[in-house]
Structure 1
Amino acid sequence: MKIYHLFVTLLFCAVSMAQTTITGSVKDSKNEPVPAANVKVAGESSGTVTDADGKFTLKVSKKPPFTIEISSIGFAAQKVQITSASQNVSVVLQNEDTRLEEIVVSASRTPERIKESPVTIERMTVKDIKKTASPSFYDGLENLKEVHMNTSSMSFKSINTRGFATVANTRFMQLVDGMDNSSPLLNFVLGNLIGISELDVQSVELLPGASSALYGANAFNGILFMNSKSPFTSQGISAYAKYGQTNQKAAGANEYVDYGVRVAHAFTKHFAAKANFSFMKGTDWYATDYRDKDLVNNIGMDRSAPNYNGINVYGDEASTNIRGVATGMLNAGVITPAQFSVFQQILPNYNVSRTGYNEVDLTDNKVRNAKVDFSLHFKPWGDDNEIIWQSKFGFGNTVYQGANRYYLNGFFMQQHKLELKGKNYFIRGYFTTEDGGNSYDMLFTGLNVNRQWKSDATWFGQYAATYVQSTLAGATPTQAHAAARNIADTGRLIPGTPEFQAAFNRVIADSDVLTGSKLVDDSKLYHSDANYNFKDLIKFAEIQVGGSFRMYELNSLGRIYTDKGTDILYREHGLYTQVQKKFMEDRLKFTGSVRYDKSQNFDGNFSPRVSLVYSAGEQKNHNFRGSFQTGFRNPTTQDQYIGFNVGSAVLLGSAPDNLIRYTETLPVTSASGQAIVGGTSTTINGNNAYYNSYTASSASQFAALASTDPVAASALLRKANVNLVKPETVKAFELGYRGQIKNLSYDLTGYYNIYNDFIGNINVVTPLYGTAQDAPNPLAGPTNPGAQSIDALATGNTRVFQLYTNTDVEVRSLGFGAGLNYKLPRNFEVSANYNYAQFDFDQGKDPGFEAGFNTPKHRVKASISNDKLFKNFGFNISGRWNTGYQWESTFVDGYINEATVFDAQINYNIPKLKAIIKLGATNLGGKEYQQVLGAGFIGSQYFASLTLNP
């Protein structure tokens, strides 16, 4: 304790000044202690919590008489009058039976019982965190109704609610103590990288579905709130340590460690402070899917295929038409016209790819995450008004999957907040900044390590020459391809050798995509918001008003965005109001909200929400709810300003000024093309991509037929009519019923969403010369713009773009969910939930558009637990199952199989040490499963943990 007092004194430089000491104990109706119960002075927020034996000590600088309040989740709150400066208090809390009485804030921005919430809401409490069988509380969110996780890495899980989500879930928002956790550069949440330590979690609330009316554009398909403990009420030193092992067929058995500490102290009723530190490290799930990316058209295609492009293989994206290589060799003087004629006759008219490197050879497959945060809390007047300064830092290594696979190596993100809040208001401002560290793109690492030892032109030239020689010597096509690859791969750098490592180090330190793969990021986000509740001033209804302002400062030095030489500044703001009123003896609650948001590149949007909740039954335990709201999602900064070459395509945003920002000079490799452009290269910009391109599907059909029937092939070409991206909107309808019968509580939810102007991606093929037209005439002559574009397609003088746009086709989704919680005798508790989800999109009306629903149609989750199985022992067993589903993303499309997963834990409480020992295991069956196509299969994880002063 001397060390503790020295530590907090040096850290916060203050002195304790308590005058009154109240001690006591809190028990339930069965005479069992109630740990973690809140004890505070009525009308104030300062206080303490009970220990594992239900005992507490409350020190306040206030003389009797006064009143204290004792509350705990699942119990009715009690007030006790304090008349003596050293009074001993004994309190018995009465059960409130079910979770329906729990208080939530997020649904309406005001405290209300969960049963009165106007929308579906899920909650994780401190008690739930203690009993979860998952390695961390964030992993445990997967057991909540409506949640489906997308696991890109062991340390990077993305929450998906109500569909339309990849790892980069830009339709979902996550707030930690009111701060948006999203990366300023990437526009989505990086799991719990800079989130919250489980020692500091007070509560977690999840709102699935549209929440734009109160929270703005990004709260489109769901929002997660993580709230930390106050150092005024949760004081002392707490710590945890976890040690375990991960098991996966590809990676084997590997060590896993996770530990953390929390220090908090209230020095006076005016000043308190806290600090948290946590660190986790382990070995990631190896990504070893070596199937060809074109899973639909080339089922079973393996590495022996000439144009193989493995899912977790990089560098094989360098691909070219092998017959076209002869033209380059002729132009370079490598072969004579007579040899060129022979090459044209022998070389096949299809693409060949370079030999790539496996992902496991391009990363150390280690995950690490360190989180540090501290906050200073001031109560100048000793009441509910509080000033908070909070700083959060997150460091780590993890794998993110977007258009490519990226190793975020030494990634660093920080947030700083200043907030003033009181009983009915808050005003906060914060900024987020990040540094990419030594992060790199694995695809470009593979491409450019290959180019370190042999250029693409040399490799393909050797391949073509060897193929011709082998064919003339009597080899079959299969034999000729094998011989050609063997010769072309002469000198290949072998993983594990010093030569390979030296080339690898040079590539990942270079940010030029032509020679390197480093990701550069120094982007920032500035945000402020405020809210005021007039409930103490206006009595006929509860009225709130609020607003927000946000500015992005994008700086990738031209690596990801078109920001080379200058930062991109992008602003948006919003205003909202809400009216809440109860009728019919408080049985009927009406909530009406409306929000206006304006983004600098788009017209403003109004987002209204109307909801009704009716509480039936004598105890108002049967609650029917219905709501309608319109939500919207502004295109992200990536949708607007990206200009990112990912190898197979250039990702190009559609902000009008971005089309001019993006320019690229490309070589023209055919003699006919050089004659048209008057040189060996040409320059294109974003206008070419959006306004002078062919649809990727028609270009693919053209390529399959061009060599045999160019006239018929040209008739298949269709110009891509791609509109600039604009905001996406949704009309969301929801009905629900929460009820309680004795010890059984249940929640039924149904929703129906109609999406318009759905934001997505479309691939186009842009000719480097000529004019894209519907069914151009190939016989119109070399000066005809349409015929010129055909020549560009036929000779490979094109650039593939992935553009950001909206579909004109309406997208609809619907779902149903049911959850129940039943408290059995002898402290057993059973929970179960089911979700059904589907979407409707007429693919025939927009063949090139991918909706990316990425959600199982059926999901079932269940658990049984008892935190007092017998003296000091508890356990929890949980299981989940989901059907298989189609996965669509910019990285790869395919099918993910169904999965059944069981997790379990047993725990032992040591009251004298105020400690809990837990033994846990995830995926007990051991059958590996996948949640993201392209990411590693998830194996089993075993751990033991010790938590002190939980």
Structure 2
Amino acid sequence: MQTLRYLTLLLFFVTTAAQAQTVTITGRASDKKTNEPLAGVTVLLRGTNIGASTGADGTFSLKTDRRPPLVIVVSSVGFVRQEIIVTDPTQPVAIALMEDAVTLTEDVVVSASRVPEDIRKAAVTVEKLGARQFANSPAATPFDALQNLKGVDLLTQSLTFKSVNVRGFGANNNNRFVQLTDGMDNRSPGLGFGFGNVAGISDLDVESIELIPGASSALYGPDALQGLMLTTSKNPFVYQGLSAQVKVGMNNVGKTNFGPKGYADLAIRYAKAFGKFAFKVSFQRLSGTDFIADDYNDRSTSARSPFWTTDAGRGGVATGIAYIPNNDPNTNLQYDGVNIYGDDINAGGAFTFPATFANPSLQNKVVTRTGYTELDVLGNNGNVFNNRANVSLHYKLTNKIEASLGWYYGNGNFIRTAGFREYFPDYVRNQFKAEIRGENFFVRAYSTRQNAEGWNIGQTAAAINNVWKPIGTATTGWAGDFATAFGANGGNIAAARDAANQGRILPGSDRFNQLRDQLTSTFNNQPVAGLGRNGLRFRDNTRMDHYEGMYNLTKQIRVAELLVGASLRQYFLNTGGTAVAINTDGSEYSINEYGAYAQLAKEISLGTIGTLPFSVKPTVAIRYDKNEYFNGGFTPRASGVISIGPHNFRGSWQSAFRNPSPGQLFAVPAAGQGGDVGGSRLAAERAGLLTNPAYLSNDVADLQAGRITAAQLAGKAYDPTRFTTEKITTWEIGYKTLISNKLYVDAFLFRSKYTDFIAAQTFYQLLTPGDVANLTNTATRRTLQVNFNNFNEIFVNGWGLGLEYGLGRNFTVSGNYARQVGLITLRDAQGNVRTNRAGDPIIERRMSDPDVAQLGRNFFISPENRYNITLANPRITDRLGANITYRWTDQMWVEQGTTQGDIWLPSWNTVDAQVSYKLPALKTVAKLGAANLLNQYYSQGYGLARIGGLYYLSLTFDELFR
């Protein structure tokens, strides 16, 4: 109690002293051209979060305990950012803003080095989206606007769930890219990847999004292997008043017997400051119909044999894909629809007749049974919803130190695609944050708590089929019935399928719905009453607690900029054994991680070159991180910027590593079912891999093709004894400039090298231990996605260029291009360079080359080329603005998943457009927009939903009742 009294007295004297020295800065902002007042202009005291925004009459007022001279930073959408020196706070400041020729004039970013700096002088490639970009973009949400940044790929899992991918190794669940929201990790603690905007902040509360493509572990810790995204919400001291947005629209246009479907998106935000106290509340609700995964073409997958076209003259080198899809199940024995489940050729939906079978027409033939569509299994007609809310309380301990408490909430349903398609009907996440932040430090603690229960769509379809009629053997069950009818009808496939399907449970029937609900509401380690099998539901209610702090010692040492920081993170797994392994006593595992970092920088002025100022800024940073299950490691970064007038040349070298996610470490599939297996020895043991080994699907294909014997295959069993962190080293050079406030240029060139790359490769395991020759039979094996480190050396080379030019009269034309190429040196388990079928060594070869892909999946899954072109004018008149964007993405070699496959995904292009109109009297902006205006359906990944046009009308009421 005595200590508390002293702290209270100290806080009283500090705040009283601060109040006694407070000065007030007032002023008015206007359009320099028309002299009309400008509302919504942001005014910040440089280097602090002290600020205000102008009202309808253009006036503002802010208080500070700093002594003059002071520097205020003034910014507004469509105008040039200004810095104004205030020497006499008693005199109102007159601010005349000029129209901005280009988007990024002097944007400040903090993600690159954790301190505010001019984006042009950042030592690494960094992109920023702010109020102007959000207002101008045709994208329906700020998150969707990321797809217009150079080199960014958004893989759409659901209408509300898009995965951010940069610089190769595109993933539906990208655990190599970190998403931070107000400094908090946005990833699912257990699953290990960001859920996009499913549990983000309300669109109205987004102030800016910064994105670093490339390794960022030196300052942000493990897992920022490929990049970092920092979303910052609006501070209630600066952005006050009531904002609301009403958005209505439609998608699924042109879908036969399905579309179009409407959707509604409602959002509201209110913030208010009372002296030293401020608060904000925001809420957003989206409801509509998801984009539907309805590709019913015969699936292209290397699980088929033969799959590759080969050059016999070169020893069987693959030259392309041999399998010719046949989309008619009535004429194709092994029809396997991409988005049809239960018919999967490599996931329990197929039977391989033995070579000795009585009917020669079926000998060694694979026959798939009839499956169900995604909509059949879901039974929800594609309905999707998403709720997001956040509340925060802020208090200025002094004018330099602000304390805050925040609650961030997300809830919705969505589909995610890993090895399988998985449905989460009611995901809930809460984040709680406490933070104290000053001009040179912050201390933060937050907790992420999720309720994530879902089920596998493909396994559900297969289970319903097998509950009705097991696939059986050559003479029993569904396969036996098919064989009998096939022989009786002279080899007529359609007649055989019809006969075998007699009595099949039809989608939408009471029996179908009852079975689905029984299976998906019962956990996969518990029996379903009356079915003689376990359920399919899994749970990941994992919690993560994070503590971190940083201090800027620049004022203390004065000779250079020095940052130091540290963090502690704890995972508390909670899956009940349905998703990851648990202890033998039934308790859950936990994971502890800690790290510390330091960064030293110094800007050195070297005079002038001609009339241009010349300076250099070298920066070095190093971080150490330790996960309790792995050895600790250092991640250094060295970078520098050379500035000659407006020309800024940057270069950097850095290393990074990634700890496997909890799922990649401990995942185990349910007994008898396929699924993910963690790389730890514990997970392998629980999956039975120590007593019943698993084998790479490509090695099994070699056995089936006669290239190896069963004895040779037995020597290639998966070895679970080696599992470690994934590592990368990368260098980058770049150039940024803004010339005459009309031409903005940003270019970069990089090369990255991965080692100990972690990938979930497809393995086959016998359902019952026995002769490995039985692995060639789809009915006697299960398919596993095993996480492990390979010995390969992987290289990604790339470059990009972004340009923006002010045409005058507020018109800008901009464009960007990015290229990345994935190369690999293949090595065997002993570290020796592997050769292709012709005996040629595989050294730095394209991963998409057939004779490389033939030897195993490498998962680059990224287009080599993509570009965007935009013509925009936010102020055609004082009220009217418009934007049109053309996006093109190259074809992409895809090799992923159990129920996905291996294919060249075609290139695609879209036209996005929007027109906005201001209604000043109502403080409202009306926006009519379209993403994929021409409604050309395309897929960003194999097996994902195909994306068509999204058309919307929004009304945004901003900062009412300020």
What range describes the TM-score normalised by the shorter chain of this pair?
Answer: 0.7 to 0.9
Cα 1:435–1:911 change in 2 (3 A) is same
Cα 1:65–1:319 change in 2 (3 A) is closer
1:566 aligns with 2:549: no
2:278 aligned residue: 272
Is contact 1:769–1:789 with CA below 8 Å preserved after alignment? no
Is contact 1:880–1:902 with CA below 8 Å preserved after alignment? yes
Cα 1:100–1:757 change in 2 (3 A) is farther
Q: CA deviation at 1:34?
A: 4.4
2:727 aligned residue: 729
Distance 1:852 1:63 in 2: 55
Cα 1:165–1:244 change in 2 (3 A) is same
1:599 aligns with 2:630: no
**DSSP 3-state at the match of 2:235:** coil
- Within the candidate set 321, 336, 339, 1:312 is matched to 339
Q: Which moved more, 1:236-245 or 1:866-875?
A: 866-875
Q: Which moved more, 1:105-114 or 1:882-891?
A: 882-891
1:588 aligned residue: 616
- Within the candidate set 710, 715, 720, 2:717 is matched to 720
Is contact 2:270–2:280 with CA below 8 Å preserved after alignment? yes
1:542-691 map, 5 Å: 542-563=561-582, 565-585=586-606, 587-616=615-644, 620-645=645-670, 649-660=674-685, 662-663=686-687, 685-688=688-691
Is contact 1:459–1:489 with CA below 8 Å preserved after alignment? no
Identity of aligned residues (%): 33
2:829 aligned residue: none
Distance 1:824 1:622 in 2: 21
1:701 aligns with 2:705: no
2:396 aligned residue: 379
Is contact 1:645–1:651 with CA below 8 Å preserved after alignment? no
Is contact 2:154–2:164 with CA below 8 Å preserved after alignment? yes
AA aligned to 1:745 is Y
Cα 1:511–1:40 change in 2 (3 A) is same
**DSSP 3-state at the match of 1:912:** helix
Q: Which moved more, 1:548-557 or 1:693-702?
A: 693-702
Cα 1:212–1:458 change in 2 (3 A) is same
Q: CA deviation at 1:756?
A: 1.2
Q: CA deviation at 1:58?
A: 2.5
1:945 aligned residue: 954
**DSSP 3-state at the match of 1:868:** coil
AA aligned to 2:364 is N
Give a deviation string over 1:159-180, Cα, whole Å, max 9, x none: 1111112111011110000000
TM-score (normalizing by structure 1): 0.85
1:362 aligns with 2:377: yes
Q: CA deviation at 1:362?
A: 1.6
1:444 aligned residue: 459
Q: CA deviation at 1:191?
A: 0.9
1:476 aligned residue: 490
Distance 1:432 1:470 in 2: 56
Distance 1:164 1:809 in 2: 14
- Within the candidate set 468, 490, 513, 1:501 is matched to 513
1:478-557 map, 5 Å: 479=492, 481-512=493-524, 514-557=533-576
**DSSP 3-state at the match of 2:815:** strand
Q: CA deviation at 1:470?
A: 4.3
1:812 aligned residue: 795
2:739 aligned residue: 741
1:777 aligned residue: none
Cα 1:454–1:462 change in 2 (3 A) is closer
TM-score (normalizing by structure 2): 0.84
1:243 aligned residue: 248
Is contact 1:520–1:559 with CA below 8 Å preserved after alignment? yes
Distance 2:868 2:798 in 1: 16
Cα 1:92–1:299 change in 2 (3 A) is same
Cα RMSD (Å): 3.0
Is contact 1:609–1:627 with CA below 8 Å preserved after alignment? yes
Distance 2:951 2:734 in 1: 38
- Within the candidate set 94, 103, 111, 1:90 is matched to 94
AA aligned to 2:941 is V
AA aligned to 1:524 is R
Distance 1:226 1:721 in 2: 41
Is contact 1:554–1:567 with CA below 8 Å preserved after alignment? yes
Give a deviation string over 1:530-561, Cα, whole Å, max 9, x none: 11110111111101111111111122222211
Q: CA deviation at 1:63?
A: 13
Distance 1:646 1:172 in 2: 32
Distance 2:438 2:270 in 1: 24
Is contact 1:511–1:559 with CA below 8 Å preserved after alignment? yes
AA aligned to 1:522 is N
AA aligned to 1:914 is K
Is contact 1:323–1:343 with CA below 8 Å preserved after alignment? no
Distance 2:169 2:462 in 1: 31
1:194 aligns with 2:199: yes
AA aligned to 1:314 is Y
1:762 aligns with 2:787: no
Give a deviation string over 1:749-792, Cα, whole Å, max 9, x none: 00011111111123333457779xxxxxxxxxxxxxxxx54477
AA aligned to 1:566 is S
Q: CA deviation at 1:24?
A: 4.2
1:114 aligned residue: 119
Is contact 1:100–1:113 with CA below 8 Å preserved after alignment? no
Q: CA deviation at 1:342?
A: 8.3
Is contact 1:760–1:849 with CA below 8 Å preserved after alignment? no
AA aligned to 1:233 is V
Distance 1:289 1:523 in 2: 34
Is contact 2:666–2:677 with CA below 8 Å preserved after alignment? yes
Cα 1:600–1:449 change in 2 (3 A) is same
AA aligned to 1:259 is L
- Within the candidate set 880, 886, 890, 1:873 is matched to 880
Distance 1:112 1:43 in 2: 10
Distance 1:425 1:414 in 2: 26
1:893 aligns with 2:902: yes
Is contact 1:652–1:804 with CA below 8 Å preserved after alignment? yes
Cα 1:267–1:819 change in 2 (3 A) is same
AA aligned to 2:110 is V
Give a deviation string over 1:565-593, Cα, whole Å, max 9, x none: 32121111111110001123471000100
1:49 aligned residue: 53
Cα 1:423–1:483 change in 2 (3 A) is same
1:283 aligns with 2:283: no
**DSSP 3-state at the match of 2:145:** helix
Distance 1:838 1:726 in 2: 26
Q: CA deviation at 1:563?
A: 2.7
AA aligned to 2:600 is V
Distance 1:43 1:166 in 2: 38
Distance 1:90 1:471 in 2: 88
Give a deviation string over 1:716-735, Cα, whole Å, max 9, x none: 76513545321111110101
AA aligned to 2:697 is A
- Within the candidate set 134, 155, 174, 1:129 is matched to 134
Give a deviation string over 1:604-624, Cα, whole Å, max 9, x none: 1111111110001xxx20011
Q: Which moved more, 1:104-113 or 1:736-745?
A: 736-745
**DSSP 3-state at the match of 1:412:** strand
**DSSP 3-state at the match of 2:264:** strand
1:365-444 map, 5 Å: 365-381=382-398, 383-437=399-453, 439-444=454-459
**DSSP 3-state at the match of 1:949:** strand
Q: CA deviation at 1:61?
A: 9.3
Number of aligned positions between the proteins: 863
Q: CA deviation at 1:505?
A: 2.1
Give a deviation string over 1:802-850, Cα, whole Å, max 9, x none: 3211221211011111011112211112211111111112464586542
Is contact 2:33–2:98 with CA below 8 Å preserved after alignment? no
AA aligned to 1:253 is P
2:529 aligned residue: none
Q: CA deviation at 1:854?
A: 1.8
1:158 aligned residue: 163
